[in-house]
Structures are given as C-alpha cells and as structure tokens.
Amino acid sequence: MVIYRILEKVEKSEYDFTDGPIPIILPGVPPAVVQYHFLLLQDAGFIKTIANDQGMLAPTRLTWQGHDYLDNASDVVIDAVENLFAEAQS
C-alpha cells in the first residue's frame, strides 16, 4: 500500500512541471520506511530519484513502468469494486 501511495503522489505532482525533488510525506508512515520504499521503487524501475548530501532519496518522476503499474493497479481495484456491487445486487 505504501508503494501505491507513493506512486500516486509522484504521478499527481508530475503535472506541476517542476524539475526538483517531489516531497512525499505519508501520515503514519515513518520516514525510514518511505525511504526504503523509494529504494524499492527505484530498483524496480518505477521512479527516478535524486539523493541529497545525506543520501536521502527523493523521487523526481515516474517512469513508463511506474505509469503502467498505476494503470494496472487502478484497473484491478475498479474490477474488484464492480464485482462487489454485482454480488451485492444478486
């Protein structure tokens, strides 16, 4: 869930057309956990990142793979909700 939330925030901020790092704060998620997920997303090729002088990562944009993941994840969620409504109406 953390990965999906990060990708959503990065995708939304990309439309601001900034070149700098995208600040990501997830309430209830420790910064170290967010940093770890940045690393996982970078390793998977879903985001591009930069590091500050202390080595802390910050995403700068989604990759094609990151956009594809979000699109597919959204389709899965929509399908699941539609199935729940169909079952409830039966």
- Residue 28 sits in a domain whose CATH number is 1.10.10.10
Give the count of alpha carbons within 13 A of 62, CB side only: 21
The overall average pLDDT reported for the chain is 86
Residue 22 C-alpha from the chain's centroid: 11
**Closest CA relative to residue 23, chosen from 48, 49, 51, 59:** 59
* Cα–Cα distance for residue pair 5/46, rounded to 1 Å: 13
No. of helices (H) and no. of strands (E), the chain: 3, 2
Q: Which residue has the higher pLDDT, 16 or 46?
A: 46
Q: Which domain holds residue 85?
A: 2-89
In tens, the pLDDT along 12-28 reads 886 666 667 898 999 99
The number of distinct structural domains making up the chain is: 1
